[in-house]
Amino acid sequence: MAYLSRFIRISWALWAYLLWWGLVRLHWLHPKLSPARKFAGMLAGLGTTFIKLGQGLSLRRDLLPDDYIEALQTLQDRVAPFDGKVAELEIERALGAPIHELFAEFDEQALAAASIAQVHRARLHDGRDVVVKVRRPAIKAQVARDMRLLKLAVRLLAALVPRLRQFQPLAIIEEIDNGLQQEMDFRREARNVKRFVQMFKDSQTIYVPAIVDDLYTDAVLVQIRSGGRRIDDPAVKEHGPALAQALVDAYLKQFFLHGLFHGDPHPGNLFIMDDGRICLHDFGLVGFLDQRSRKNLAAAMQAFVQRDSGWLLDAYQDLGLIAGDLGRAEFMRGLEELLEDYAALPMKDWSFSEAFIAMMRLGQGRNVRVPHNLLVYLRASLLTESAVRALDRDFNVVQGLIAGERQIRDAITSRASEAMKSRLKYEAAEALQELPQTLAEGVRRLRREGFQWRLHHRGLKDLESHLDRSSNRLALALVSLGLYIAASLLMQFELAPRVAGIPVPALIGYGLAFWFTIRLVRGISRSGQL
């Protein structure tokens, strides 16, 4: 009965909004609220799951206009906290010990409360101040029920209004549901926090509070308590330019070097500590960019600055943003117009993120499909740009991104080079180890079967001779290469005796390899052909 009642409420809310929206479009109603505000209010009225749904939809700038995005971004899931005693019971159940054994002090009064969890102050027995994040009881079951009913309601709606299918509403809901399930698993958040702690462990400008080991489960998370002034606090303006540069550098490192980034850098999650470092909070939304995506985003940035519409379109295609019938000429016209608009502005007013959004909307949702990881990237990028401009109005975000991206690219190239050297050493060592067995097998095969390759045909003697010479040269080249590799590997060991600092076995290997190389070059020179 409860399921049926909830299903009726969800379905009625959706149909009522659509009916109201239709009457407004026909100018039969003149409402006080805009359709966007009405939609956000409808979601808020349906509770936790739908507030989270609205927050997820606020990422979909490829599908929704700006007024809907702005309305959905105002959705807050701050709700009344549940009883502190219940929170204690949930913590004890999750961590398997009484509160007094876990903490020297525990504040039953919640520090903050949201629809998924609430936070309490506490102190460990070793004196460290911490915050304890505890998930609301039964919230997972509630979300699972609401999502099932929502999907059923949307299926019925799409069957009656076929035009909705082009927006793939079920796929969008499924994507948001997956994100919500991850957000409710605090073990995942703990793993993310640990990765960010490691990422910024030596940073002089960024701080990430550590997770307390052995004090986290899927329902409870204990983290070192820290704080400071919000990044939009007027008191931090004095250090605005330095903080803006630090924030840009931090996000470049996340975007292009590690591919893992904090996805929600709004002012409530960025604090300036007393020592001047920026403290990152709340890792419930974390994005990931694979190496290919990072490369293509960097190419898109360069194309944007160079105002090269063809290169920019190619970069967007490589990112997987454009599907179906491309309509390249239409996109090119739109991009050229967009780039000309930016050319008329001072570079400090350029925004790569806003240009990204404008490009997504060129196809009016017909050709553009944005992967979820790029939606999270776009949100993080927009919020970072906003925070940077709040700190320093004259900061040239695009120029900073391009310059920083080049430095990061150099670091990636250096790291890749080291990785390639390590791989080459490993492969050479493996080949050297397997060489005796390979040669033995070859010798046994020759003894057993003999050399079976014979060519008997009139007019092919020259070809046979040429093949013999080529085979010999190839064999000699392989032997030379093997000797060079073997000698190089011997250089890695502390062997004696040495001549001019080179181990004698390595010197012999290099000498033989050089002799074979001379013979090979001489043979090729005599033939006059490679």
Q: Which amino acid is at 168?
A: Q
The DSSP letter of residue 80 is P
| CATH H-level superfamily of 78-139+183-226 | Phosphorylase Kinase; domain 1 (3.30.200.20)
Distance separating alpha carbons of residues 313 and 310, to the nearest angstrom: 5
Q: Do residues 279 and 208 touch, judged by C-beta distance below 8 A?
A: yes
Q: Do residues 230 and 359 touch, judged by C-beta distance below 8 A?
A: no
Q: Which amino acid is at 175?
A: E
Distance separating alpha carbons of residues 377 and 105, to the nearest angstrom: 39
Q: Do residues 372 and 378 touch, judged by C-beta distance below 8 A?
A: no
* Ranges of each domain in the chain: 2-77+141-181, 78-139+183-226, 229-419, 459-530
Which of 182, 204, 213, 208 is closest to 195 using CA atoms?
A: 208
Distance separating alpha carbons of residues 103 and 476, to the nearest angstrom: 72
Q: What's phi and psi for 380, nearest 5 deg?
A: -60, -40
Q: Counting beta carbons within 10 angstroms of the beta carbon of residue 121, is it exposed (0 to 12), middle (13 to 18) or buried (19 or more)?
A: middle
Per-position pLDDT tens, the chain of length 530: 677 788 888 888 888 888 888 888 888 888 888 888 888 888 888 888 888 888 888 877 777 888 888 888 877 666 788 899 999 999 999 999 999 999 999 999 999 888 888 999 999 999 999 999 999 998 888 888 888 888 888 888 788 777 777 777 888 888 888 888 888 899 999 999 999 999 999 899 999 999 999 899 999 999 999 878 988 888 888 888 899 889 988 988 898 888 899 988 888 889 999 899 999 988 888 989 988 888 888 888 888 878 888 888 888 888 877 655 556 677 788 888 888 888 777 767 778 888 887 877 775 555 566 778 888 888 888 888 888 888 888 887 776 666 665 555 555 555 545 555 555 555 555 665 666 676 667 667 766 766 555 545 555 555 556 666 666 667 666 777 777 677 676 666 666 677 666 777 777 877 787 777 777 667 666 665 55
pTM value is 0.69
SS3 342: helix
Distance between start and end Cα atoms, the chain: 85
- Residue written as token pair 């250090």: 239
- Pairing between strand 278-280 and 270-272? antiparallel
DSSP track, 171-201? HHHHHHHHHHHHHT-HHHHHHHHHHHHHHTT
Q: Do residues 81 and 46 touch, judged by C-beta distance below 8 A?
A: no
Distance separating alpha carbons of residues 282 and 263, to the nearest angstrom: 9
H or E, element range at 206? strand 206-207
Q: Do residues 290 and 259 touch, judged by C-beta distance below 8 A?
A: yes
Which of 300, 205, 299, 294 is closest to 258 using CA atoms?
A: 294
Distance separating alpha carbons of residues 254 and 322, to the nearest angstrom: 25
Distance separating alpha carbons of residues 14 and 21, to the nearest angstrom: 11
SS3 24: helix
Q: How many CB atoms lie within 10 A of CB 480?
A: 19
129 beta partners: 123
DSSP track, 413-460? HHHHHHHHHHHHHHHHHHHHHHHHHHHHHHHHHHHHH--------TT-
Radius of gyration of the chain, Cα coordinates, nearest whole angstrom: 32
Distance separating alpha carbons of residues 354 and 378, to the nearest angstrom: 9
The angle subtended at Cα 208 by Cα 373 and Cα 95, nearest 5°, is 90
Distance separating alpha carbons of residues 249 and 23, to the nearest angstrom: 50
